[in-house]
Amino acid sequence: SGIPSSEGNFSGPSVQELVPGDMMEIHRGLYCHWALYVGDGDVVHVTSSAGKLDGTFSPGGKVVVKREKLEMVVSSDRCEVNNALDRKYQPRGTDYDYHLLLENCEHFVTLLRYGKEESRQVRSLFWTAVGAAGSAGVAVLLYRGH
């Protein structure tokens, strides 16, 4: 029960069956391509910097991260949901614990981009507060010494 593509030969699960976060395994003969379902029929995946993998294997090179329609990425290949690592790891899902200072939206996007959670604005706020506290402490000491 696949969704039809513009070519009419898409072979995969229907969009109604998919949940954001599902790992899509796309069978391409000798290897499988992988993409992450993000909703609305779209996946995020890596592809050649030219924008399309031509089916030839290359052990390295430049790639880009793209959001595209699942049916366009799959084309005439076969795909399926493969969340097999759910037995080994806890899936993150689409829920994210939020804390203004410890896990905010900047932490989230730096985690995705760099693999590290960091918030420069929180760090700046911290050092501003430390500086203000230090200045206040110096003012108290000067006042007492007067």
Give catalytic residues, as residue numbers: 33, 45, 105
Q: How far is it, in rounded angstroms, from Cα 129 to Cα 2?
A: 56
Q: How far is it, in rounded angstroms, from Cα 145 to Cα 47?
A: 67
Q: Which residue has the tokens 């029929």?
A: 41
HSE (side-chain half, CA atoms, 13 Å) at 102: 4
Would you say 11 and 77 are in contact if contact means Cβ atoms under 8 Å apart?
yes
Q: How far is it, in rounded angstroms, from Cα 146 to Cα 128?
A: 27
Burial of 98 (0-12, 13-18, 19+ CB in 10 A): exposed
Angle, helices 105-114 vs 120-144, to 10°: value is: 130
